[in-house]
A and B are shown apart, each in its own frame.
Chain A
């Protein structure tokens, strides 16, 4: 069939509008292009103006641009580090890396604690027990209506009210509270412990495989083989056996109270403790609300159907309600996790050496403001992006598969 022949009956009014853009204000496509050119032009002009100002200012203040300063010896004392750091030897680059690691640690530990506490409080606030649910609601309201920074300052002040080291409170044998932090016993690490840890990891994998097989058998036959004997054997007995075979070493290095400082033992600084308490209390209130509304979003018919099957309340919660609630919970929970990562930067206010605090010191010392802020922003963008990617992956994994 030929489409090139024009139908003589077709009137001019029914013909498609011309393909090209007419240079007239009444053509919406022309208008769109003009508007975009104007807006982009204004933006580029504005950025160029700011950039030229910046160049003039930098020249006037004799600040060299570039990231060369990262190679210079830092000289910033840092109280807490996960990789060896010595201010007289190591560079600014390494100091920044220490900061990134500290920020990541706070974020990871914080997210884990917030998830646990938030889920517990969220579930408990829907409990049948009036007192429990009321207390949980009060907790949520009380914690989230106070700024996080105030939380941090308050808990830091509380940490500093503990007595000095000389009069440190012994919470348990070997655990001391003082205004310079919490002192805990440290395990003297030996090869047998590495063996124990590896065996435990292997046991976790074995249990996971056993659980998957049990599910497969259950689908095929309707009877679920018991998993817990495998779990105990693989996760408890085997690691203990390996530890015993390798000599069963177990020595604790106890902190010993001196006049001004402790000898030995591990230390959890007051800054870290205050930061953790503040972050967890504040964000777990939000997490609890998310979990609560997620559970409420599951239709009550699901509870009733579970009850009709004769399931217990706990089983219903675990097997029926939570898996469905998770689909509602995940997206807002992602924002909470992102908030934790970003809010961990408030550590600068109480002197915990996170990324922002270290970069802030660096830019005060070197004057490299633009580079410093570029580092902060790109690291946080990276963290935010990786959290969202991971959570999006998890979200698609648990999403409802509709037939």
Chain B
């Protein structure tokens, strides 16, 4: 840039250049105060947001009660401090008192380290499955191995672990078992049903698949869970009565398979016809054509919507509360049924909400990043 000054004839009237095109003030002018309406909306929202945040911090941190003393006479906790703060501050003491119950349900207290290891195993399984470098057939083996380890830990009875009956399981492990094990079983069924629905040369099979999909999609999951809890015992031979968790698990598998099948069918339809024809031209048999050519491409196409289905499905497992299975939500609900804590259910529900949110939000973020990555490779 030169600093020399040259004389010019004064430039006649010209519109002023914008004062600022970069920097925070310009950004605010463009994005927060671009018009009168926009400014009004910004000011109103900012006012409510600040008021809400201040109130929330006040409630959750400044005026909240973190622990309550034990009453020496009865040996129980004395929630008077919480009662006094009611309406002004949160009572986190309920979480402090009940967190092990909420997370692990009625699992024997001394054995809860096993349930904790199960949680870690589940998280590890999810993280490994999310990494693309493990998207190889070996992943199926990892799943089988980890699920076996999880059930061994939960049940016990071997390697010197105490046997824990299934109706003592509870909390987050149940939610994760229902959703993860449900997915692992529903997925192969879903692939078969999706293929069956597109098998035009097998009209009877196609009809069965269409009826199965449409009926299950038309009814709420609750009705299937009721079916599992009250009708399933009638279906079984006299004397055989599988336990409640297994029955609910079967209902969830049947339900999830349908939604997964519809997503997979979308992938099968999105694949260009040439892929099918090329496989036929090579003289591949039906199963080789599907297993080697079609499914690997179709499934890859639908991974983002599949993850979204997983999210919905993870949330839906909470419905087992209605038939009395001890999942995360049920254990939270039972925890606040304790007479001491009855008035403080909001705090517990907020904590449960945060747990569910962490799982669902990270899955949603993961699905978005996959989508971005896939669209990048397609665009290239």
Interface residues of A (CB under 8 A from B): 28-29, 32, 35-36, 39-40, 43, 50, 53-54, 56-58, 60, 128-132, 135, 141-142, 144-150, 153-154, 157-158, 161, 342-343, 345-346, 348-349, 356, 360, 363, 369-370, 373, 376-377, 380-381, 384-385
Contact = CB atoms under 8 A, between A and B. Distances in A.
Contacts of B31: 128-130
B41 to A, nearest CB: 6
Nearest to A368: B230
Contacts of B42: 129, 131-132
11 contacts: A28-B201, A36-B202, A53-B235, A131-B42, A142-B357, A145-B315, A145-B360, A157-B345, A161-B346, A343-B220, A376-B226
Contacts of A128: 31, 34, 38
A370 B319 contact: no
Given A57-B233, A149-B321, A385 B353 contact: no
B230 A342 contact: no
Contacts of B236: 53, 57
A345 B220 CA distance: 7
Contacts of A381: 215, 218-219
B231 A373 contact: yes
B364 A32 contact: no
B197 to A, nearest CB: 13
Interface string B54-86: 000000000000000000000000000000000
B230 A363 contact: yes
Interface in B4-42: 31-32, 34, 38, 41-42
Contact of B223 (A29, A36, A153, A345): A345
Nearest to A383: B218
Given A35-B205, A128-B31, A150 B349 contact: yes
B41 A349 contact: no
Given A130-B31, A154-B346, A360-B226, A145 B202 contact: no
A49 to B, nearest CB: 9
Contacts of B352: 150
A387 B33 CA distance: 43
Given A149-B319, A150-B349, 8 more contacts: A28-B201, A39-B208, A57-B233, A132-B45, A145-B361, A153-B345, A343-B220, A349-B322
Nearest to B28: A130
Contacts of A29: 201
Interface string B306-327: 0000010001101101100000
Nearest to A40: B204
A34 to B, nearest CB: 11
Determine the interface band of chain B, counting residues with CB < 8 A from chain A: 35 or more
A238 B249 CA distance: 61
B185 interface: no
B38 A146 contact: no
B223 A146 contact: no
B329 interface: yes
A29 B201 CA distance: 8
Given A32-B202, A39-B204, A161-B346, A58 B234 contact: yes
A125 B311 CA distance: 22
Contacts, number: 154
B204 A154 contact: no
Most chain A CB neighbours (cut-off 10 Å) among B46, B205, B217, B234: B234
Nearest to B35: A128
Contacts of B333: 153
Nearest to B237: A53
B130 interface: no
The 5 closest A-B pairs by CB, nearest first: A145-B360, A130-B31, A342-B220, A147-B315, A384-B218
Given A35-B202, A150-B356, A158-B346, A43 B208 contact: yes
A380 B219 contact: yes
Interface string B336-380: 100000010110011011001100110010000000000000000
B165 interface: no
A141 B361 contact: yes
A58 B203 CA distance: 35
Most chain A CB neighbours (cut-off 10 Å) among B203, B226, B318, B336: B226
B316 A131 contact: no
B293 interface: no
A53 B222 contact: no
Contacts of B294: none
Nearest to B208: A43
Given A129-B34, A356-B222, A360-B226, A148 B315 contact: yes
Contacts of B203: 36
Nearest to A146: B353
Contacts of B34: 128-129
Contact of B41 (A43, A132, A348, A356): A132
B202 to A, nearest CB: 5
Given A57-B238, A128-B38, A377-B219, A145 B364 contact: yes
A345 B222 contact: yes
B227 to A, nearest CB: 5
B49 interface: yes
Contacts of A32: 201-202
B127 to A, nearest CB: 19
